[in-house]
């Protein structure tokens, strides 16, 4: 890990606690790199809120500072509007007897010192399959449009909706993971009965239904693994997982969580994520004591942390990284890659060599965390 990465994590940690951070005395170029990282990992408001108070940051060119300030304010404004519209829509739905289970998104944002510090691109609703057509009609009545107008509401596992001239974007799920996926479609079995174990949380003045903390913690970890199997995930997901564990440590059934993770070869990966959350973002958080029997210290997190920094928020930091997902998914499915590598090398076009290099490195990570066999 570079010194700049370490500074970035220190600033993020101070943002999660609303604590002062020591001025690292960075150069203008280094501060711009910190802000670019913050934007790539979708936590620009959290980072800017801390660093704008530091004297070395003030040495940045005035126009540059103003540009980043505008970007941070725009993200905050968009998020506030999105949250308000979402809560209004939820109240309308509940008034009509429709009460979706909300996962990730706003249920994670409420764990931050201020909701707007953690931007969300979308909101995820989990519903029973038989409710899909009713929700489809409800969304259309309230000005939302299906991304795919020809999608079959009854037959599709997932539908997405946007509202013109609005930041609200909703993904409607009948299952937490696509059943069609040969890699992670089977994970849905771990959530059988989850709809009957839901709880309610208060978001502003709205009662929101969400997963039981044990189910939600499992989902957040497997959701991170799903993105890791594609092209990676960013530090915001680690913040979500750490804050969720911290807030719900007494409600989570940690032994069940461990067994479920082990059953899908996600245990060592999850230990590495918890290590990063605890060591770099939430030091002294009591949830880590719940992992005593997991022996997470035996799992090294350095390589995963490097991959997270390279990834961006959801593995979209570069075209080469996005293309590398074909290799990691292929490896997770078949647990072998030589045939695939030969095919890709012979058909290599622009950037293919870099995609293969990234893919090979990330396959070694899948092996290191026991996700696939060596």
Closest CA to 42 of 90, 87, 108: 108
Confidence of residue 363 (pLDDT cuts 50, 70, 90): confident
106 near 115, Cβ under 8 Å?
yes
State the Cα–Cα distance between residues 270 and 225, nearest whole angstrom.
8
Quote the pLDDT of residue 331. 54
pTM: 0.89
The pLDDT tens digits of the residues spanning 250-269 come to 999 999 999 999 999 999 99
Q: Angle of helix 235-248 relative to helix 302-311, nearest 10 degrees?
A: 120
Quote the pLDDT of residue 284. 85
Average pLDDT over the chain, rounded to an integer: 89
231-270 exposure pattern, b = at least 16 Cβ within 10 A, e = fewer: bbbbbbbbbbbbbbbbbbbeebebeebbebbeebbbbbbb
188 near 177, Cβ under 8 Å?
yes
Which of 133-147, 158-172, 230-244, 317-331 is least confident?
A: 317-331
- Kindly state the tokens that stand for 294: 């997991």
218 near 261, Cβ under 8 Å?
yes
The SS3 call for residue 151 is: coil
- Kindly state the tokens that stand for 280: 């770099």
231 phi, psi to nearest 5 deg: -135, 10
Task: Kindly calculate the radius of gyration of the chain based on its CA atoms and give it in whole angstroms.
Answer: 21
Give the pairing of strands 101-103 and 169-173.
unpaired
The pLDDT tens digits of the residues spanning 87-134 come to 999 999 999 999 999 999 999 999 999 998 999 989 999 999 999 999
Kindly list the distances between the CA atom of residue 363 and the CA atoms of 230, 316, 346, 349, 359, in Å, as whole numbers in the listed order. 11, 18, 20, 21, 6
In CATH, what is the architecture of 78-211? 2-Layer Sandwich (3.30)
Quote the pLDDT of residue 346. 47
104 phi, psi to nearest 5 deg: 55, -145
DSSP 159: E
| Position 348 pLDDT exceeds 50 | no
Closest CA to 79 of 39, 122, 40, 15: 122
The strand order across the sheet containing 169-173 reads 101-103, 123-126, 169-173, 158-162, 145-146
Closest CA to 296 of 281, 275, 279: 275
Which residue's entry shows tokens 């090398």? 345
Quote the pLDDT of residue 358. 74
| Position 338 pLDDT exceeds 60 | no
- Max Cα-Cα span within the chain: 59
Quote the pLDDT of residue 366. 85
Beta bridge partners of 126: 101, 173
Opening angle at CA 117, ends 72 and 217, nearest 5: 140
Domain extent listing, the chain: 1-60, 78-211
CA 258 to chain centre: 20
């Amino acid at each position: 890990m570079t010194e700049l990465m370490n500074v970035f994590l220190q600033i993020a940690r101070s943002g999660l606690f609303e604590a002062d951070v020591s001025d690292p005395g960075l150069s203008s170029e280094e501060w711009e790199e910190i802000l670019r990282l913050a934007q790539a990992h979708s936590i620009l408001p959290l980072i800017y809120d801390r660093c704008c108070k530091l004297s070395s940051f003030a040495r940045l060119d005035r126009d540059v500072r103003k540009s980043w300030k505008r970007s941070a304010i725009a993200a905050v404004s968009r998020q506030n509007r999105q949250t308000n519209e979402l809560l209004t829509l939820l109240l309308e739905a509940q008034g009509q007897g429709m009460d979706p289970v909300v996962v990730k998104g706003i249920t994670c944002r409420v764990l931050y010192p201020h909701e707007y510090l953690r931007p969300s691109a979308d909101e995820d609703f989990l519903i029973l399959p038989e409710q899909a057509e009713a929700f489809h009609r409800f969304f259309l009545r309230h000005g939302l449009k299906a991304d795919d107008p020809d999608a079959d509401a009854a037959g599709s596992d997932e539908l997405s909706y946007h509202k013109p001239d609005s930041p609200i974007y909703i993904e409607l799920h009948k299952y937490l993971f696509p059943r069609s996926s040969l890699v992670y479609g089977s994970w849905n079995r771990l959530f059988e009965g989850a709809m009957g174990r839901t709880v309610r949380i208060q978001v502003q003045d709205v009662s929101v239904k969400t997963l039981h903390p044990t189910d939600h913690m499992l989902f957040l970890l497997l959701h991170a693994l799903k993105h890791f199997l594609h092209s990676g995930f960013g530090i915001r997901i680690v913040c979500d997982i750490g804050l969720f564990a911290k807030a719900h440590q007494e409600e989570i059934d940690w032994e069940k969580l461990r067994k479920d993770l082990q059953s899908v070869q996600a245990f060592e990966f999850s230990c590495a994520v918890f290590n990063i959350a605890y060591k770099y973002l939430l030091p002294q958080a009591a949830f880590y004591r719940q992992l005593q029997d997991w022996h997470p210290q035996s799992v090294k997190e350095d390589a995963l942390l490097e991959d997270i920094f390279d990834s961006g928020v959801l593995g979209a930091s570069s075209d080469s990284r996005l293309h590398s997902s074909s290799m990691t998914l292929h490896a997770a499915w078949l647990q072998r890659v030589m045939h695939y590598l030969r095919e890709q090398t012979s058909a290599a076009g622009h950037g293919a060599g870099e995609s293969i290099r990234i893919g090979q490195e990330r396959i070694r990570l899948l092996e290191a965390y026991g996700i696939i066999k060596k």
